[in-house]
Amino acid sequence: MEIDKKINVIILGDKGVGKTSIFNIIKEKASTDIITDINDIDSFIIKVNYEKKNTTISLNIKDIKNQENFKGNIPLQYIRNNHIVLLVFSNIETLNNIKEHWYKFNKENTNIENSKYILIGNKSDLFGDERDEIVKQGNKFAEEIDAHFITCSVISKDNLDNIERYIITEAKRFIEEEDKKLNEKKNNIELKEENEDENENNYDNRNCCFC
């Protein structure tokens, strides 16, 4: 039987870096409408077949919209259970805010032990003289947090298709790691039970007498 695996994806970053534009571009390929909840959070779902695991992945992608300057006001239920986090910046200043605030904010509030991160430098058409430094610092930070790093432009449409591809790749990697953990846990339990049975048999043999 095919399993439906829900993967939560959130887009974080400063106001004005293009989070909602990226959200809307990804949405263009989705088969469902945008849903706005009582906290003014937009979301939609993309379904992806993962034949290797006989699984349908439901990517639930959320945009916090205009709450990014008030991190304490973001309902923590939107932070706690995200499997994939898109960290969006558009220049050196907003990249520093990703490092110093948004990444830490997610790490401090998430319940997901091995969340996956995608670092996105948007507005690449406007990087100008900062381009080399942005790429250098972006690659360095992405390596530190085990993230994909991508530069793109919503205006010029440069490299946008790779965002969804990276989301799907990271969703599969998360599922693979979770399955591995479950198998290791199962094997450890079975090994423990085998050892307990063996110890019990050894005890019985030591206490056996022949008449």
pLDDT of residue 165: 93
**Residue 27 domain-assigned (yes or no):** yes
**Residue 76 maps to which CATH number?**
3.40.50.300
Among candidate residues 83, 155, 146, the one with its CA nearest the CA of residue 119: 146
Give the residue numbers spanning the domain of 159. Answer: 3-184
Number of domains making up the chain = 1
**Residue 189 domain-assigned (yes or no):** no
**Residue 105 domain-assigned (yes or no):** yes
Positions in the chain whose pLDDT score sits under 70: 1-2, 31, 66-73, 186, 188-211
DSSP three-state, residue 56: strand
pLDDT averaged over every residue in the chain? 87
**Residue 192 domain-assigned (yes or no):** no
For residue range 184-205, what is the model confidence (pLDDT) as tens digits?
A: 876 766 566 566 556 666 655 6
Among candidate residues 75, 85, 209, 87, the one with its CA nearest the CA of residue 151: 87
**Residue 153 domain-assigned (yes or no):** yes
**Residue 169 domain-assigned (yes or no):** yes
**Residue 82 domain-assigned (yes or no):** yes
CA–CA dist 100, 147 (Å, integer): 16
- The encoded tokens of residue 196 equal 């307990």
For residue range 47-87, what is the model confidence (pLDDT) as tens digits?
A: 999 988 889 999 999 998 766 665 666 888 888 999 999 99
**Residue 180 domain-assigned (yes or no):** yes
pLDDT of residue 188: 65
